[in-house]
Amino acid sequence: MGVNLDKPSRWKADIARSVDTYNKWFLRFAPVAFRETRIQTTKEVRAALETTKNLTDVSPSVLSGNPKILATLRMSTCPPLAVDRLIGLAGVSDRLVKSMEKEGRIPDGRAGGTLRAELRKIGDIIEHMADPDIFVWLNRKDPPAELEVERAATVVADRLCGSVANPIIRNAQEKRQLAAIKSWLETRGYRLAVGMGSPKFDSMAPGTFCFRMNVPVKLRGGRRVNIPVDAAVMRKTARKGKLPLLFEAKSAGDFANVNKRRKEEAAKMAQLRHTYGKAVRYCLFLCGYFDTGYLGYEAAEGIDWVWEHRIDELAKFRL
């Protein structure tokens, strides 16, 4: 018998309550999370401006020594450049640009002359398209005033934060959800697996839990990979050899995106069952906009869930 997956008569009422719960949190805490990120991002933009001498030096040596600044430079142009647009305009390797963006480094194996030529092309595009309304000093001889640099850094930071607004909010919500799970478990005598080494998925001690665990699975064809799960909980009554309960913390601020991503959980469940059999329990902890289409899809895959507004239903998993 399931906790929620087999009770469709309750779904619509729960959806309404979940939307209300998310919206109340968003109105109170999302602006704070965004502002805190913007403050930190502004500091990073100021550092990038200092490195590039206030955008007057975007040379290959500067880019090779500071590849992390590329995202800031893309948001400094008019119009701001998406990663693929920069690759196309500069005519450079997508591996180079994406490695600088995602990993903050120059990829291995780039020949010296070729690398310098590609970085020169990137720098030329940035300098050519630098936004004159933000960097007002670029077309004059006088150096920028401190207030001008601060204003420019704030504008670019807003652009950067705007481009990743949803991940900022999603990360803040995930932290809150995991904190709620932690509080619920500790109130009932469970303890976080800290100071006990990194527990393996199949050898956690009874009465313990951990967050952001990598679970090894075997793909069809025999290749093994790790898949991340947000929380793993080993029941107090678990016998040796039993598997922990696995939870994915999910939040959403609209109905459209969840139905685009609903196959992700189904794919994880399929991989877990292929590796560990039908005994594995992979469940969701939901807050926000999850409609009946999403819930029905997950239920059909055998994935159960707990709503954050009814967190005490975690107990129905015999925790």
Residues 174 and 297 in one domain: yes
Residues 300, 256 share a domain: yes
Task: Look at the chain and report how many structural domains it folds into.
Answer: 2
Residue that terminates a domain, selected from 111, 140, 164: 164
Spatial separation of the C-alpha atoms in residues 266 and 304, rounded to whole Å: 11
Single out the residue of 316, 291, 319 nearest to residue 304, CA to CA: 316
Strand-pair category, 224-233 with 245-252: antiparallel
DSSP code of 141?
A: S
pLDDT of residue 91: 93
Q: Say whether both 180 and 271 belong to one domain.
A: yes
- Write down the pLDDT at residue 44: 92
Asked if residue 308 and residue 179 are part of one domain, the reply reads yes
Residue 139: predicted pLDDT = 86
Q: Which residues pair with 191 in a beta bridge?
A: 208
How far, in Å, CA of 73 to CA of 81, rounded?
9
- From 110, 130, 164, the end of a domain falls on 164
CB atoms closer than 10 angstroms to residue 16 = 10
- 209 with 306, same domain: the answer is yes
Q: Which residues contact 192 (CB under 8 A, 6 or more apart)?
A: 182, 186, 208, 209, 210, 211
CATH label of the domain that carries residue 22: 3.40.1350
pLDDT score at 153: 92
Both 71 and 147 in one domain: the answer is yes
- pLDDT tens digits, 144-153: 999 999 999 9
How far is the C-alpha of 2 from the C-alpha of 10, rounded, in Å?
Answer: 13
State the amino acid at position 101 in one-letter form. Answer: E
Could you tell me which of 28, 27, 59, 49 has the C-alpha nearest to residue 157?
49
Q: Note the pLDDT of residue 195.
A: 55
Please check whether residues 55 and 141 belong to one and the same domain. yes
23 and 171 in a common domain: yes
The pLDDT score that the predictor gives to residue 199 is 67
Statement to judge: residues 174 and 313 lie in one domain? yes
What was the pLDDT predicted at 34?
81
Residues of the chain below pLDDT 70:
110-111, 164, 195-199
Q: Which residues constitute the domain of residue 92?
A: 36-164
**Does this model's pTM top 0.85?**
no
Using one digit for the tens of pLDDT, what is the confidence trace for 95-131?
999 999 888 898 887 667 889 999 999 999 999 999 9
CA 95 vs. chain centroid, Å, equals 21
> For residue 2, is it within any domain?
no
Q: Does 41 share its domain with 159?
A: yes
